[in-house]
Structure 1
Amino acid sequence: MTAPDPKRLSGADFGAQRAFLVEAVLAEPGARAVLSRAAAMGLPDWALMAGAIYKPVWNALTGRDPAFGINDYDLAYCDPDDLSWEGEDVWIKRGATVFAGFPREVEIRNQARVPIWFSKKFGVERAPIRTTEEAVSQFASKSHAIALRLDAGGQPELIAPYGLAELFSGTIRPLPGIADPAGWNRKCAENRANWPEIVFENA
């Protein structure tokens, strides 16, 4: 049997790439359940992001099980009007109830608080984040800067400030000035082992 071509949607139009991504993510039972439960929580400006989005796409492109390589689910929300740890902890505790017994960790974080701890941890000032889309635009790669949520009618709503072309190009590149080289290169090594068909460029 011929292995699937991971670059077969490279150059496809946005609509085709979007449809493939949504189908791939919803084919992963954990991501589908997180989206469904999160939609009922009432989180402000929320979305599922990071590996829970791009890894199912890699899996669909390379013929792997939808859940292969997924360790957890990053469930983001953005509330710039409450930057307190206590406010974030309220949602974390609600999530602990909503996702009790879930097979993988569901990590709920207020993206508006990221510049606060990021600046302290890395000594680099980050601009305030006011929306989840702004948060996604600061991810380490254009291929990672993608999130998905359900709208009020239960339909998938995509957040992709840089589009989807890079995700489907077959080459994952860091964004200069944003990606932390050590952390990025470590993840590249892990990803190469799991998805050798895809090219991961070091920072």
Structure 2
Amino acid sequence: MSISLPPSPDGFIRDALQNRHNQRILQQLPALGLPDVWLVAGCLFQTVWNLRSGNPPEAHIKDYDLFYFDPADLSEAAEARVNARAQSAFSGLGITVEAKNQARVHTWYQDYFGFPYPALRNSRDGIDRFLVTSTCVGLQAGASGLALYAPNGLDELYQGRLSPNPLCPHRPLFEKKAAAYQERWPWLQIQA
């Protein structure tokens, strides 16, 4: 399997789609009818790291995350219903798919992680705040194809640099996350 270097939006999309689960999720995602929905995070950047490492595209990927933004119902029960719909829609893939309403993250984040978190305006705000800057990526399926959102670019992702995100300055959480990534992909470099 090949990986495109230097990174470009089209090259990233080609690399991410080498993971057959990403392909299927993105094909079926519009049918869920979720507002501002994106396939995000590990299933995308970890596919790139797998390709660079010579691993199968799906190796070491624990779950497939969907971000959507629905301010109409911030309840945990509403998010659980959406999550159940997503699990059902993708049950044939044999993977874990988790849907998270970015409109409600600020209601539980501090209790769960111990750090404050601002109310977000859309799903891209959630992508902006991943703990590691190089992992801030998302793909959205639309009528005209796939849209990439990578607010920090793609260079650090392809170079394997793990830097703390100043928009989410929670150092202990960053260190734990970066160490877990480096354990699975030893060539990654943790930046101070």
2:60 and 2:154 mapped to 1: Cα distance? 21
Matched residue, 2:100: 109
Q: TM-score, normalised by structure 2?
A: 0.88
Displacement after TM superposition at 1:123 (Å)? 4.5
Change (3 A) 1:121 1:170: closer
2:152 and 2:63 mapped to 1: Cα distance? 24
What per-residue deviation string (whole Å, max 9, x for no partner) do you get for residues 49-72 of structure 1?
110110011122232211111111
1:188 and 1:149 mapped to 2: Cα distance? 25
CA RMSD of aligned residues (A): 2.2
Displacement after TM superposition at 1:197 (Å)? 2.3
1:95 and 1:148 mapped to 2: Cα distance? 16
Larger Cα Rg: Structure 1 or Structure 2? 1
What per-residue deviation string (whole Å, max 9, x for no partner) do you get for residues 161-180 of structure 1?
22222212332211246253
Matched residue, 2:171: 181
2:14 and 2:127 mapped to 1: Cα distance? 21
Change (3 A) 1:170 1:94: closer
- Give the unaligned 5+ runs of structure 1: none
Q: How many aligned residue pairs are there?
A: 191
Change (3 A) 1:182 1:135: same
Displacement after TM superposition at 1:44 (Å)? 0.6
Maintained 8 Å contact 2:63/2:97: yes
Maintained 8 Å contact 1:139/1:179: no
Maintained 8 Å contact 2:140/2:148: yes
- Which is richer in helix? 2
2:167 and 2:153 mapped to 1: Cα distance? 19
1:94 and 1:121 mapped to 2: Cα distance? 24
Counterpart among 152, 161, 170 of residue 151 in structure 2:
161
Maintained 8 Å contact 2:132/2:174: no
Matched residue, 1:93: 84
Matched residue, 2:187: 197
Counterpart among 20, 26, 34 of residue 29 in structure 1:
20
SS at match of 1:167: helix
1:200 and 1:103 mapped to 2: Cα distance? 32
SS at match of 2:66: strand
2:77 and 2:183 mapped to 1: Cα distance? 39
Displacement after TM superposition at 1:125 (Å)? 3.1
What per-residue deviation string (whole Å, max 9, x for no partner) do you get for residues 146-200 of structure 1?
11121124x1111112222221233221124625333332333332232222213
Maintained 8 Å contact 1:54/1:144: yes
